[in-house]
Amino acid sequence: MHILRPIKDSDFNALRQIAAESGHGFTSLPVNDDILREKIQRSEHSFAKSLSSPQDEGYLFVLEDSATGDIMGTTAIEAAVGMTVPLYHYHLGKTVHHSPTLKVYNTVDILSMCNDYTGSSEICTLFLREPYRKGLAGRFLSRSRFTFMADHSARFSDTVIAEMRGVSDEQGHSPFWQWLQEHFFSIEFPQADHLVGLGDKVFISELMPKYPIYANLLSKKAQDVIGQVHEKTKPALRLLEKEGFEHRGYVDLFDAGPTVEAKLTNIQTVQASHVATVNICQVEKTQSFAISNQQLQNYRATFTDQVCYHSHENVIDISKDVAAALNVSNGDTVRIFRL
């Protein structure tokens, strides 16, 4: 059985392995022991807090194979971004150059640096290890974040964003960054990327151009990748688009990858999921559902075809094994949705 749960200190080695496997551009998991340990501790503190509004919390989860104990992947939610360290984006807009005398009318794309997503909740750090990228595990890992947010909505913002990894080559070089580096910086993209992962963002405000950038002045290669995602990120983007996330012109400062957004209550999984009452029994007629126990520190979620939902009674029959994995008893409530 695949169990999604909050990360704990004993998962450090597995998280470090995931950080190493994630590669360039995955800034939320740098290969740095101190920062990874700090992320685990911050997550444990966040789950333990009593809150009525989102603050500077980070919730980090792992997906575990209960049969082997192997950690298959990870994902995270930031409750409110940009509250302690500024969150920068470029917004792709337009400006018009118009001369009635010369009968000239030109529209030009411009990139303006902004902090428009300050206070939004962010889903991030979604990574499923290569051997487990089959079946429903990736879809479950992505969608279960939304049911957790639905059950604990006071801890999160109404606006949910996801920063998607932009285009870079196998060596980690970004065409968009190469243009910025040539004109404004003297460091390579992997180094800048690494600094952001370490939380060192001072150089952004110090060196980034303060005025809007005319996109047509960028190199052709840089223009072509604005709002485009890395090849390995395309499946994750498709999942989010099915959930109702949209790209509204915001892109990353370094690789120009798109940031997508949705209102929490409009997310498809949130709307499709609902709360049902548990009945532990021998399941005779089986159906497939994803199930979460609605708890906080003891949060558990799984997906299984060994359950049966009775819509008229709003009761879900689950086996003893599934109940034990979710840490629920007869009469408890769970949130369910179909994968």
Query: Annotated catalytic residue: which of 2, 24, 152, 230?
Result: 230
User: Helix 137-151 and helix 234-243: axis angle, to 10°?
Assistant: 40
Non-local (6+) Cβ contacts of 328 within 8 A are 278, 293, 318, 334
Whether 173 is catalytic is: no
Q: How many angstroms separate the CA atoms of 279 and 329, rounded?
A: 8
Q: What is the DSSP string of 62-112?
A: EEEETTT--EEEEEEEESSTTSSS---EEEEEEEEEEETTTTEEEEEEEEE
Q: 139 in helix, strand or coil? A: helix
Catalytically active residues are 230
